[in-house]
Structure 1
Amino acid sequence: MNQVSDQVTLKPYEPADRGWLVAQHAQLYAKAEGFDDSFGVLVESILKEFEAAHDPACERGWVAWAGGQRLGSIFCVRAGEGLAKLRLFLLVPDARGLGLGQRLLDACMGFAREAGYGRMTLWTHESHEAACALYAKNGFSLVSSTPVTSFGQALVEQHWERQI
């Protein structure tokens, strides 16, 4: 693991992280892909639902921290019997390419295995090339690709899945 990634602490998600996560998702996706304000609204609703109803035995969120700064997040939530869903995987631009994405993914998949899930699913967009490459490298298979209009943009939604 790279030296910078080794200095990062993965802390459990707390409601105090919500504002940062909503702002980062909204700003980064607006800048990179032109997403409209509906994306931040979606992220906030996902986080509020997680705070209100998650089961800590089988659902967890992590926020990566270094030097007093948040660098990213990943969540594992229940999507059905034996099925975990990876959500809200984000790295700020300065934290990309340092091995932190793999570390977050490893934490999420390890937790899912320990919680008794047999499979993991995720939803993303084709334009997220680095994330898709990371998923493929880690044994996820592309299940479907669907052209859609979401967040004010023409996108290709992708559904990935793997056994864990």
Structure 2
Amino acid sequence: MTTAPLPEITAYTAADHDWLVEAHGRLYAAENGFDASFPAVVDAALREFEAAHDPSCERGWILRDGARRLGSIFCVREEISTARLRLFLLEPEMRGRGQGRRLLETCMGFARGHGYRRMVLATHESHRAACALYARTGFACTRSTPVRSYGQDLVEQVWERPL
């Protein structure tokens, strides 16, 4: 019995921009009721990354199966020794199949290899599967704050871990 090859993790390019904005907007609206302000935030974050990221210590990745994009994750500099994880996304059919962990390990490995000693991220309490993955991979939730964002009452969380 042969197994299907794993989706490939490739470098983010500007050609992935529109898909990433659309996917975030579509999935977060369907799963969390987020309004149109959310994809606008993703668009702004990507424009900033494309215009000003430092390729020596910041990178984005896309999970793909051939031409089909299935997920993303980004590592950006927060401070000289702290990396920030951003724009972590998986299409629903990839969830529960180890692909999120692969993306997360790719991101953390890059951060470690580029001298970062700590990684931080912000998410929402409602993203239970992602929070469970963060906890399983050594992250700790260091702050929870009720907020009103993207048309929803949410609990914003900050997670971090040493690298």
Asked if 1:141 is matched to 2:148, the reply is no
Residue 63 of structure 2 aligns with which residue? 64
Asked if 1:163 is matched to 2:162, the reply is yes
User: How far apart, in 1, do the equivalents of 2:143 and 2:50 lie?
Assistant: 30
Residue 21 of structure 2 aligns with which residue? 22
Residue 103 of structure 1 aligns with which residue? 102
> One-letter code of the match for 1:69?
R
Question: What do residues 4-62 of structure 1 show as CA deviations (whole Å, max 9, x unaligned)?
Answer: 5x521111000010000000000100011110000000000000000000001100000
Unaligned ranges ≥5, structure 2: none
User: How far apart, in 1, do the equivalents of 2:55 and 2:7 lie?
Assistant: 23
After superposition, where does 1:1-164 map in structure 2 within 5 Å? 6-164=5-163
> One-letter code of the match for 2:130?
A
> One-letter code of the match for 1:100?
Q
Match of 1:32, SS?
Answer: helix
Which TM-score applies when normalising by structure 1?
Answer: 0.96
TM-superposed CA distance for 1:68, in Å, is 2.1
> One-letter code of the match for 2:15?
A
Unaligned ranges ≥5, structure 1: none
> One-letter code of the match for 2:127?
H
User: How far apart, in 2, do the equivalents of 1:64 and 1:31 lie?
Assistant: 21
Aligned length: 161
> One-letter code of the match for 1:44?
D
> One-letter code of the match for 1:12?
A
TM-superposed CA distance for 1:81, in Å, is 2.0
Question: What do residues 61-109 of structure 1 show as CA deviations (whole Å, max 9, x unaligned)?
Answer: 0000013210000000000120000000000001111100000000000
Which TM-score applies when normalising by structure 2?
Answer: 0.97
> One-letter code of the match for 1:99?
G
> One-letter code of the match for 2:156?
E
TM-superposed CA distance for 1:136, in Å, is 0.3
User: How far apart, in 1, do the equivalents of 2:109 and 2:56 lie?
Assistant: 13
Root-mean-square deviation (CA), in Å?
0.9
Match of 1:46, SS?
Answer: helix
